[in-house]
């Protein structure tokens, strides 16, 4: 549950000063102190100090400071604060009157409206204050979005802040981020332009498996607005089962030769649990040569190339089962092919990748006859030190042949030949 509060640095009560406009408008003669109010007795001009500035409120003797009780309702769309007329201690009320609330927040009346039931609403702008929830004047955090209730701790987490300002001048501020009580220095910024939406990204592996508290502070001219939310971090693992054997030859034939399989069975173990011991949803997607052929829930084995089923997991073992004879696989030619199993966790309707396993497999067709097929489990490394001993495991399948001549090359130079 998100919590939004505002802290404003002011005095406990407003101090009123009187003087000529020339003197009270000159901050060199009367330094700014947040919360001070000034009356110019020579022309009835009113000033106040807020947000490290001196503001001119209005002129004329009809401007009044009125006591108001209760907190306003914030109208974010119009950047206004709405009071019920009955909360204001005054028989008469007009535009430009200044309302002083019980917690010493100043609001300027900008409009007074009445509905068909004769309910009177007083529309105001906040001009200086000391603690109204969601307000504070100047630049504020209007909304924090893209924050999930549950997140995978191995994925980056993005937070978008939408800002609003009750003035035409305040548009810069400093944002401070804390995660579980520690400041995120790579997100906390010096003063910067914050009128537009800004997205901040917490890198992967910074969340913990459990409750994470994200604390955001926006500081603008003496005003500190605080936004906090809790996120449940989830750790999940997708592992290949120990019985998986990529060396077995597969075929789409419905009457395969002895030793050929027309069903691929990939056993897996999926582990996932969040801080509240709620189950998470595991999904396995299976690809051959980058073409998806089956999607299965972690708790359900599917035997065809269609369908999308979701199931909850805590600690679950299962298998992806692929029928090699389905039409979707009819065009795969004889030879070596790449099969890949991708594990995902479904959070808030979005699939987040966990682990992925890729193998070379033997695919045998009648058209391919006895053409040899070679596969290897050698990892896809790009560099090796020249003093390392390199072992490349491989399997050759050739239907109906007893021996196959195998040649090993390095930079087109043959290193070895051996019959198998």
All structural domains of the chain:
3-128 (no CATH), 139-235 (2.60.40.2950), 241-367 (2.60.40)
DSSP state of 287: E
Query: What does the pLDDT look like over 66-115, one tens digit per residue?
Result: 888 877 877 766 778 889 999 988 888 888 888 877 766 778 889 999 99
DSSP state of 86: G
Query: What does the pLDDT look like over 229-258, one tens digit per residue?
Result: 888 888 888 889 888 999 999 999 887 888
Distance between CA atoms of residues 238 and 343, nearest Å: 6
- Residue 279 pLDDT > 70, yes or no? no
Phi/psi for 325 (5° steps) reads -95, 5
Q: Is 329 helix (H, G, I), strand (E, B) or coil?
A: helix
Residue scoring higher pLDDT (13 or 214): 214
Distance between CA atoms of residues 95 and 100, nearest Å: 15
- Residue 284 pLDDT > 70, yes or no? yes
pTM over the 0.85 mark:
no
Torsion of Cα atoms, 257 then 258 then 260 then 262, to 10°: 70
Residue scoring higher pLDDT (139 or 317): 317
Nearest to 36 by CA among 118, 122, 127: 127
Residue scoring higher pLDDT (301 or 368): 368
Q: What is the pLDDT of residue 3?
A: 42
Query: What does the pLDDT look like over 349-403, one tens digit per residue?
Result: 778 888 999 999 999 998 888 899 999 888 766 677 888 888 888 889 988 887 8
Strands 280-288 and 335-347: antiparallel
Strand extents, DSSP E, 364-412: 373-376, 394-397, 405-410
In this structure, of 115-124, 133-142, 160-169, 176-185, the range with the lowest mean pLDDT score is 133-142
Nearest to 232 by CA among 206, 257, 212, 254: 212
Distance between CA atoms of residues 337 and 361, nearest Å: 5
Mean pLDDT across the stretch 312-335? 79
Nearest to 297 by CA among 307, 288, 324: 307
């Amino acid at each position: 549950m998100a919590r939004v509060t505002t802290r404003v640095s002011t005095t406990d009560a407003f101090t009123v000063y009187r003087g000529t406009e020339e003197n009270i408008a000159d901050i060199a003669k009367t330094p700014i102190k947040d919360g001070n109010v000034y009356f110019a007795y020579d022309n009835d001009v009113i000033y106040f100090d807020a947000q490290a500035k001196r503001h001119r409120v209005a002129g004329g003797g009809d401007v009044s400071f009125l006591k108001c009780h209760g907190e306003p309702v914030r109208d974010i769309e119009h950047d206004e604060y709405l009071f019920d007329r009955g909360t204001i201690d005054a028989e008469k009320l007009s535009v430009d009157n200044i309302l002083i609330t019980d917690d010493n927040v100043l609001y300027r009346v900008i409009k007074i409206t009445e509905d068909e039931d004769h309910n009177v609403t007083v529309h105001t702008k906040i001009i200086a204050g000391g603690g109204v929830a969601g307000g504070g004047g100047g630049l504020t955090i209007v909304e924090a979005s893209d924050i999930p209730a549950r997140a995978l701790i191995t994925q980056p987490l993005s937070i978008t802040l939408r800002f609003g300002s009750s003035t035409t001048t305040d548009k810069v501020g400093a944002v401070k981020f804390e995660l579980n009580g520690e400041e995120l220095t790579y997100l906390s910024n010096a003063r910067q332009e914050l009128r537009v939406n800004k997205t901040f990204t917490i890198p992967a592996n910074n969340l913990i498996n459990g409750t994470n508290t994200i604390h955001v502070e926006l500081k603008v001219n003496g005003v500190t607005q605080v936004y906090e939310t809790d996120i449940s971090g989830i750790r999940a693992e997708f592992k290949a089962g120990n019985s998986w054997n990529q060396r077995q030859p597969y075929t789409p034939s419905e009457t395969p030769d002895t030793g050929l399989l027309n069903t691929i069975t990939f056993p897996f173990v999926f582990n996932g649990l969040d801080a509240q011991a709620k189950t998470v949803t595991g999904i396995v997607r299976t690809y051959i040569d980058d073409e998806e052929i089956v999607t299965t829930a972690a708790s359900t084995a599917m035997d065809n190339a269609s369908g999308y089923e979701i199931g909850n997991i805590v600690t679950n073992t299962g298998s992806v089962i692929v029928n090699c004879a389905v039409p979707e696989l009819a065009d795969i030619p004889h030879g070596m092919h790449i099969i890949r199993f991708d594990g995902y966790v479904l959070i808030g309707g979005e699939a987040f990748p966990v682990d992925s396993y890729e193998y070379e497999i033997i695919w045998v067709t009648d058209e391919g006859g006895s053409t040899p097929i070679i596969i290897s489990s050698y990892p896809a490394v790009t560099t090796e030190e020249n003093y390392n001993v390199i072992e490349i495991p491989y399997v050759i399948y050739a239907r109906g042949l007893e021996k196959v001549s195998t040649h090993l090359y390095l930079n087109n130079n043959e290193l070895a030949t051996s019959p198998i």
